[in-house]
Every structure is written in C-alpha cells, then in structure tokens.
Structure 1
Amino acid sequence: MIDKYGRHVTYVRLSITDRCDFRCTYCMAEEMTFLPRQEVMSLEESLQVAQAFVSLGVSKLRLTGGEPLVRKNVMWLIERLGALPGLENLVLTTNGSQLDRFAAPLKAAGVKRLNISLDTLKAERFQAITRIGDLSKVLRGIEAATAAGFQRTKLNTVMMRGTNDDEFVDLVRFAVEHQLDISFIEEMPLGEIHGRSKTYISSEETREMIGRHYELIPSTESSGGPARYWRIPGSESRIGFISPHSHNFCDSCNRVRVTAKGELYPCLGQNDALSLLPVMRANGDEAALRQAIVDSMGIKPFGHDFTQQMNNPQVVRFMSMTGG
C-alpha cells in the first residue's frame, strides 16, 4: 500500500476493544461510555481485517485497546494471527495488568514483543493516574514477560509536568536494571481533557534531564514506529522519545490505525476515517474489503499539527477509542 505522498504503509495498529481495566487520566474520561457489543468487531472480523492488510503487504501488526487482554477469548485471535503467513512482526501494547497470566501464552502464540505502559513507580501516584490501577500487578506482569522469554520489552511513559516529571531518571534506571527499553511520549491532544497545555513536556527537556545522569548517544536504530532512540554506554536498553509536537514524524509515517468498531484512521491526529465494518457485514467479500483499505490511502493526509491543537483539540475522540 502506497499513499499519495509515496509512503509505504507496512504497519497497522489494530484495536480489539475500547474497554480497559484502568481509567488513565490522559486516555479516558472518568465516566466512560463504551461501545455496545454489536458495534464492536468480532474476533473473526478482526482476523479478517488483519488478513486483508497482510495480503496487501503489511508486515507488522500491533494489537491495542483499550486493554487488549481484557477482551474475552483474546487468545483465539492471537493464536491465529501468530500463524498468519506473511505477518513478520506481531506485537502487543498492554497496561501490564493481565500479563502475569497471559505472558507465557502470548509468547507461545508468536507475539514477538510487548509494549507496557508505565508512567510512575510510585503506587499512590499510579493509582491517581490510572484512577483504579494497582502498580504491583503491573510489576508482576513485567516480571512474567521476562520469565516467558520476551526480549526488548518496552515501557511507554507519557510525560506530564507536575505529575511524573520527577521520576524520569528513576524510570530509566528501572529500565536499565531490568534490561528493558523505554520510550517517553509527548502528551497528545486527543479527547476533551482540560489542562494539557500546563502538563506538556517536550522530548528535548526530558532528554536534557536524563542526560544530567546518563550519557545518551544518538542511535539510528528503529523499531518500525515513530520513536527515535538513544543508547546508554554499557547497557542494552534503548531510550526512545516519541515527539508528535516537537519533532513531527509525519514525513516517514508508515502506519494506519483500525478502531475496535472497524474504523480505519489513516492519521491519528485527523478525523478522516473509512468504516470497514459495513463492508465486511454487507457480503463478506474479501476483495471489497481489500479495495476499501486501498481506497483509504487516498485520504491519508501528509500529517497533523498537535501543537496548534493543544488547547483546542480538533480530535475529540479519546485515545482509548482510537486504539492506544
């Protein structure tokens, strides 16, 4: 798949649920209204979408949510995706709360890597950010992932001034000690959440802060996503920065997102989407589904402008609705 700007789309982020067992303040409203079951793609439909993308040349598929591991019978889907011919890289983003029981089955099913959201190492602060989360469960999940044989597991930390900016060095230290990667993510203006302009921190500021404690060497490595990596001498850990505000990465964008209700968003920071669910449910025609996906390349914009949207977001859907 090639968009009108000549960019090859080889990476799909597929949400399989909008539900989550956390209520992170930057991702959801405290009182969320979730999709009715009939509006959510079935596991069979999720598999059909994945098969169509892979047949069109997609080599990397990331399962997201919400929290993907709260989806009933999720392993049915993951086992089939892991065996999908042509899919080189099946990965999963999770909050880690379910990994103590799912890490080993995920590894056996063919999941290559895990991204685990972790914004703080302080239990009370963790509960405040997630509203209902238990840090100890996530830490057990990280241990379970390592015990199951996962390598290059990556922590994802959303940077929030006045909330967790005093822990960035501690989080890097934790990653290094546990042989994990870590990416620091600039907060994105998705959903009507007030006060973001006051909590925003740039990647440069965080990198300078970490650089006062660790030597950071720029790296040309890529994990196939938007993170730009740095290395610490003597450590295998990669320190990444995802910078949709300060270092717009749209010129090399290779990905699209599919929501749990089958909406294909060619750009996270725009509202244009193409609904795949009616195509699948109309006649189950695989050729029609593939053509709809190809047609979506025509609405993939060159990029977004999150900086201008910080105080007045154009995208009012929450991150959990789009797919993390």
Structure 2
Amino acid sequence: MLVDSFGRVATDLRVSLTDRCNLRCSYCMPPEGLEWLPKPELLTADEICRLVAIGVERLGITEVRLTGGEPLLRRELVEIVGRVAALRPRPHLSVTSNGIGLARLAGPLAEAGLDRVNVSLDTLDRETFVRLARRDRLGDVLAGLAAAEAAGLRPVKVNAVLMRGVNDHEAVPLLRFCLERGYEPRFIEQMPLDAQHGWRREDMVTADEILARLTEEFALTPDDPAARGSAPAEIFLVDGGPARVGVIGSVTRPFCGACDRVRLTADGQIRNCLFATEESDLRGAMRAGASDGELAARWAAAVRGKRAGHGIDDEGFLQPARPMSAIGG
C-alpha cells in the first residue's frame, strides 16, 4: 500500500493526461496561456496505462481520476479509459473536464467504461464566462453537461470556483441550475495554484461565505459526517434531500488529515500533495528500464515523505512552481 509517515493510505490516483487547455481561466493561467510541455516529455498512452496498472495491481489504488490541463484534448482518452477500466481489481474511474468536447465524447467514454465526470462551470452568464475563461464557450460546456447526463455518467458533478466581485453572486443560481437537472454541485475555495502567483486570501470566497449565501434560499443540513471519509467535500442535503451540494474548503477547512490522494503528472512525476515542492520521477526510471517492482518501490517512497498538511497558513508557505494546469486536479 501507499502509506505515509502519518498512517494515511493513498488509494485515490489523479492522473494528468496533458498540461494543455482550451480555456484560459483567470484563476489558473494568464491570457496568453503557458509554455506547454514538449511532446517527448509527456507520458505515452502505454506508459500511463503501465503506471496506473502498477498503482492498481500492486499498490492498492481503488479510484482513478483522469485530469489535465484538459483531458478531453488527449487523443487517446477513450483508449486509456478502456484500458484502465479493464484492470482487475477494477478501479472506479472518472474524468475532470471543462466540458468542451464532452457532447461528442460522453457516449464513447461511457461505452469504454468511464463511471462519471466532474465538469467545471463557474458561471451561467455568457459575458462573465468570457471574462473568466477568456473564451466564448459557455454553450459547449452546457451541452457537455447534458450529454454526460444522457450517457449515464452519473452523478454529474459540477465544480464551481466563486471569486469575489466576479461571480460570487451566482452561488444560488448555480445551485438551482444543478437541482433542476439532477447535477450535484461542488463549490470550491480558490486555491493558490495560479501560474501568475496572484492569489490573495482576501479575494477568496470562503466556505463559510458560500454556505451563508446558499442558506439564504435553501435549507441545508449536513449529510452523514461518517460517510465523508477522505472526500474533500463537506456534503449537505438540500431542503431535506435527496439533492445534495458539496463545499470544498481547501484553505479554510483543510482536510489534509484524511487525505488519500496521490498525483501523477503528464510528464511522469509523482506528487504526494497539490502543494508539494518536490516530485519523484517515474518517467526517467521507466524509460531507463526499471521493472514494475522498482517503479512501485519508488512510488511508495515518494508517498512516505508526504507532509502533515498543505501549509498554506504557515509563515514560510511557498506556492508550488507548477500551476494547477501542470499538476492535475
């Protein structure tokens, strides 16, 4: 198993398939975008599937989330989903996406074995979408959500980051939109993972503020706390249920003590925390001829060094050099 020095066991693997994205969200990257990783540095589909198989078959991984960048830009995505879904024991398999292209791919992904999707949707207003994402693609995102629901990729989870003075007034409309369509929303505190390093705590809409706004219109009651386990979201029943909403207070309500996640970047680095400042290179070892056992040992050693928490509140906190788009969500 992947056990750290605090006894936490990593069973949830986040795999970044690419650092590229077709949006330029202001809380992630600058308008001109970023310098993408050269293709030779990216893991091939065979390399991704080999490492995921090692995680599942040797190291106790039970959940695999394919991320980016934007994973729908990866040409072999459907193939990778099918190969991961064929592993035994079969992991639970999901994708986190901005939804662009999902209208076309939802059906093939479901047929390949994908269980569900998380789709980012920060606003229902077209002008605000363009302001945030710097692309006029709101219609594509909404079509992708509808296609995911129609393909049976349930529950369709909607990730929303609220920003002060930009879209923080949309908490209630976003929740109502999700309730009407059977989606399950997740409101997420903005984290210091932007490429510009422009994050400021005072600009962040906190979990307490999000809940205060939602409770102005809806009755929220905590779901069974024991059922949360290591999940990042605090879940609330909406108006008595069965509809639910999640709030992820990564900054003000950290859940590091129960974290069970480990990340594989698109260029083959193991990261034991979103905010880690060190990585462990599996790509180099793999291309140098390392066996599955040797790769598993390197991976286990990387997880053992995981810190107790992300340290955002520490005086000496340093934002990681890699932005979210290059780490994987």
- CA–CA distance in 2 between the matches of 1:304 and 1:102? 35
**Residue 91 of structure 1 contacts residue 111 of structure 1 at CA under 8 Å; is this kept in 2?**
yes
Deviations 1:141-179 (A, max 9, x none): 111111111221100001211111010000000111011
**Residue 269 of structure 1 contacts residue 315 of structure 1 at CA under 8 Å; is this kept in 2?**
yes
**Residue 244 of structure 1 contacts residue 306 of structure 1 at CA under 8 Å; is this kept in 2?**
no
1:2-13 mapped onto 2 (5 Å cutoff): 2-13=3-14
- CA–CA distance in 2 between the matches of 1:309 and 1:89? 38
1:315 pairs with 2:316: no
For structure 1, the residue ranges without an aligned partner over 5 or more in a row are: none
Q: Which moved more, 1:112-121 or 1:82-91?
A: 82-91
Aligned residue in 2 for 1:249: 255
**Residue 192 of structure 1 contacts residue 313 of structure 1 at CA under 8 Å; is this kept in 2?**
no
TM-score by length of 1: 0.95
Aligned residue in 2 for 1:225: 231
1:290 pairs with 2:292: no
State percent identity of aligned pairs.
Answer: 37
For structure 2, the residue ranges without an aligned partner over 5 or more in a row are: none
- CA–CA distance in 2 between the matches of 1:112 and 1:60? 11
3-state DSSP class of the match of 1:225?
coil
- CA–CA distance in 2 between the matches of 1:173 and 1:289? 46
Aligned residue in 2 for 1:205: 209
1:80 pairs with 2:80: no
Return closer, same or farther for 1:208/1:164 CA change in 2, 3 Å cut-off.
Answer: same
3-state DSSP class of the match of 1:157?
strand
RMSD: 1.7
- CA–CA distance in 2 between the matches of 1:285 and 1:118? 41
**Residue 219 of structure 2 contacts residue 240 of structure 2 at CA under 8 Å; is this kept in 1?**
no
Q: 2:46 aligns with which of 40, 44, 47?
A: 44
Deviations 1:193-233 (A, max 9, x none): 32533421110111011001000010124385311100113
Return closer, same or farther for 1:223/1:87 CA change in 2, 3 Å cut-off.
Answer: farther
TM-score by length of 2: 0.94
Q: Which moved more, 1:213-222 or 1:162-171?
A: 213-222
Provide the aligned length of Structure 1 versus Structure 2. 323
**Residue 191 of structure 2 contacts residue 199 of structure 2 at CA under 8 Å; is this kept in 1?**
no
Shift of residue 316, structure 1, vs aligned partner:
2.8
* Over 6 Å off, 4+ runs: none
